[in-house]
Amino acid sequence: MGLRNAKAYSKRYARAYTRTSKVKSKAYIKTVPHNKIVKCMMGNINGYQKGQLKLILRLICKEDIQLRDNAIEACRQGILKELDNNSVTNYYFAVRRYPHHILRENRMFSGGSKGERVNQGMQQSFGSAVGRAAFVKEGEDIFLVAISDKKFLPIVRNAFRKVGPKLACATKVSLEEKK
């Protein structure tokens, strides 16, 4: 079974829920889905920490939203591919939001006479864990790219523009220069 549409989770109010217990019978969530984000920090990490990379670009979210881990990972791969293909040499790239929230789905069977054997309707409707999501508030940054040279600015802006449609929210790019 494939993923549900992002609109089922992205713009609705949701309370953070990550409860798991060491005693499996007491936990509502029996198995926690694995995280799809492979790496959170890439590039010249030491140069960023020492302050050698002076130009910092951030992809900022314009609304409160939940972003699923597969959307964040797809954007991460797209930005990294764009940086590598255009020979951006000295950069630091970080994923700023980590998906902790566990998404649930109460699967319903519709059609046929097998419905009563598959589910119990809303009798025990907590649902099973189907994925993870990160809560992102308005004004928080999702990705950060730090570069050393101004000639790479259009490349990074273009990478952010390309991954914008993969996110379920409106975004903007902000530039900060360290002195």
Residue pLDDT, tens place only, 101-138: 888 877 766 666 655 556 666 666 677 788 899 999 99
Evaluate whether residue 6 is within a structural domain. Answer: no
The per-residue pLDDT for 73 is 96
CATH label of the domain that carries residue 58 = 3.90.1170.10
Number of other residues whose CB lies within 10 A of the CB of residue 84: 11
- Domain total in the chain: 1
Within a domain: 120: no
Q: For each of the chain's 179 residues, which pLDDT tens digit applies?
A: 577 777 777 766 666 565 667 787 777 777 788 889 989 999 999 999 999 999 999 999 999 998 999 999 999 999 999 999 998 889 999 999 999 888 887 776 666 665 555 666 666 667 778 889 999 999 999 999 999 999 999 999 999 999 999 998 999 999 999 87
Dihedral sign, Cα of residue 63, residue 61, residue 166, residue 36: negative
Q: Supply the range of the domain harboring residue 58.
A: 23-99+127-170
- Which pLDDT value is given to residue 20? 66
So what's the pLDDT on residue 125?
63
| Residue 9 covered by a domain | no
Residue 148 lies in a domain: yes
Asked whether residue 115 is assigned to any structural domain, the reply reads: no
Residue 104 placed within a domain: no
What does the chain look like in DSSP terms, one character per residue?
--PPPGGGTSSS---------SSGGG-S-SSPPPP----SEEE-HHHHHHT---EEEEEEESS-EEEEHHHHHHHHHHHHHHHHHTT--SEEEEE-----EEEEE-----SSS-HHHH--TTTT---EEEEEEEEE-TT-EEEEEEES-GGGHHHHHHHHHHHGGGSSS-EEEEEEE--
4 found inside a domain: no
